[in-house]
Amino acid sequence: MRAVVCEAYGPIADLKVEDLPDPSPGPGEILIAPEAIGVNYPDGLLVQGLYQARPALPFVPGMEAAGRVLEVGPGVTHFGPGDRVAVLLDTGAYATRVLAPETSAFALPDGIEAGVACALLCGYGTAHHALKQRAALRPGETLLVLGASGLTGLGAIEIGRAMGARVIAVASTKDKRRVALEAGAHEAIGYQDLRADLKRLTEGRGVDVAFDPVGGEAFDTLARSMAWNGRLLVVGFASGTIPSLPVNLALVKGFSVVGVFWGAFTRKQPAAFAANVETLFAWVAEGRIRPLVSERLPLARAADALARIHARGTVGKLVLVP
Ligand SMILES: NC(=O)c1ccc[n+]([C@@H]2O[C@H](COP(=O)([O-])OP(=O)(O)OC[C@H]3O[C@@H](n4cnc5c(N)ncnc54)[C@H](OP(=O)(O)O)[C@@H]3O)[C@@H](O)[C@H]2O)c1
């Protein structure tokens, strides 16, 4: 098989495409031929050694793939050759053959395209978990989304709308704001006058739920723009800066700061995670959400795709098509 390999923690550009022996499934494992492989911001952190986890070297990055089962190992009961599945892994997806424990696979309905299935795992999965389990977003509430044209941001816009919220999107350029509006945001603004814009758009009340995958300076503005009983969701730090919070703001304004760690959620609450995936598959089938797969690239372009995601140069979901 062909695979993208990380031989040492370091720059994304050091990733290599190599020929490796074809794997065969062990007990409880399935082997799939991916039709699409998801590229995610955290994959780029992982190969640089900047993520919470540090896999043993060398390793094949990639946490999502969707395609058909080729072979199953002993003891596999839920899937057989020819079945369509989407799989979630720690690593190993950037390859023309992907091994996964059967317990990490979801049956993929025929109507859901493989690239869209990848968007629904880490990206939309994080946004859904954040808004459902962590913020308990209610219909009629105001939801603010930073990094709104990125993958988790677009997920938060679409899912927030599906849950009945009024969505205000924040993105850095006019083109990115257009993408956010097309995904269903009610308003789209830039970062320049964030505090004044939020005051104006909420008539001084503040936002009920803020979804922040960016961090940095904007977080400080959010902490000063929350409504009473608001929930400020800490999702990520795409700006490269982990912000600090003067906790008196949480006291005075009566809001909560809520951490979101989707990967840990999938491991600690597998039944809730499986129910979330089922909901997202159903919402796609019903046309309630339409994840944007903006680029489909060959496997050999993995490093380029990751570098552009980290340089703020993409919108929506990028997938590799082997
Ligand atoms: N907590 C969790 O469980 C979880 C799960 C998945 C991802 N994450 C994290 O969430 C963050 C976003 O992930 P994503 O998939 O939405 O990524 P993405 O598709 O690349 O979107 C990130 C957005 O952040 C904004 N941004 C601002 N400053 C940036 C900078 N210096 N470099 C890159 N982007 C910048 C960009 O929009 P503008 O140009 O409009 O500002 C960009 O669209 C990452 O830090 C990721 O690790 C966390």
Does 272 score more than 90 pLDDT? yes
- Ligand 1 contacts (CB < 6 A) are 40-42, 45, 122-123, 126, 147, 149-153, 171-172, 176, 213-214, 235-240, 260-263, 309-310, 312
For 173-316, list the strands marked E by DSSP. 187-189, 207-212, 226-234, 256-259, 293-297
Q: Which residues contact 204 (CB under 8 A, 6 or more apart)?
A: none
Q: Cα–Cα distance between 141 and 148 in angstroms, integer?
A: 18
State the pLDDT confidence band at 52, using cuts at 50, 70 and 90. confident
Percent of the chain with pLDDT over 90: 99
Does 215 score more than 90 pLDDT? yes
Break the chain into its structural domains and give their ranges.
2-108+292-320, 123-262
Protein residue with least CA distance to atom 36, ligand 1: 147
> What distance in angstroms lies between residue 135's CA and the mean position of ligand 1's atoms?
19
Which of the listed CATH numbers 3.90.180.10, 3.90.1150.10, 1.10.630.10, 3.30.450.20 matches domain 2-108+292-320?
3.90.180.10
pLDDT of residue 145: 98
Does 193 score more than 90 pLDDT? yes
State the pLDDT confidence band at 105, using cuts at 50, 70 and 90. very high
Give residue-wise pLDDT tens across range 114-132.
999 999 999 999 999 999 9
Mean pLDDT of the chain: 97
| 2-108+292-320 and 123-262 agree in CATH topology | yes
Of residues 137, 90, 104, the one with CA closest to residue 32: 104
Q: Cα–Cα distance between 273 and 282 in angstroms, integer?
A: 14
Give residue-wise pLDDT tens across range 236-268.
999 999 999 999 999 999 999 999 999 999 999
Give residue-wise pLDDT tens across range 138-191.
999 999 999 999 999 999 999 999 999 999 999 999 999 999 999 999 999 999
Q: Cα–Cα distance between 62 and 15 in angstroms, integer?
A: 12
Percent of the chain with pLDDT over 70: 100
State the pLDDT confidence band at 306, using cuts at 50, 70 and 90. very high
Regarding pTM above 0.75, the answer is yes
> What distance in angstroms lies between residue 27's CA and the mean position of ligand 1's atoms?
37
| Third-level CATH fold of 123-262 | Quinone Oxidoreductase; Chain A, domain 1 (3.90.180)
> What distance in angstroms lies between residue 306's CA and the mean position of ligand 1's atoms?
12
Q: Which residues contact 212 (CB under 8 A, 6 or more apart)?
A: 146, 147, 218, 219, 222, 232, 233, 234, 235, 236
Backbone angles phi, psi at 118, to 5 degrees: -60, -40
Helix 122-129 with 270-285: angle, nearest 10 deg: 110
The mean per-residue pLDDT over the stretch 75-81 comes to: 98
The mean per-residue pLDDT over the stretch 42-60 comes to: 95
The gap from C-alpha 149 to its chain's centroid, in whole angstroms, comes to 12
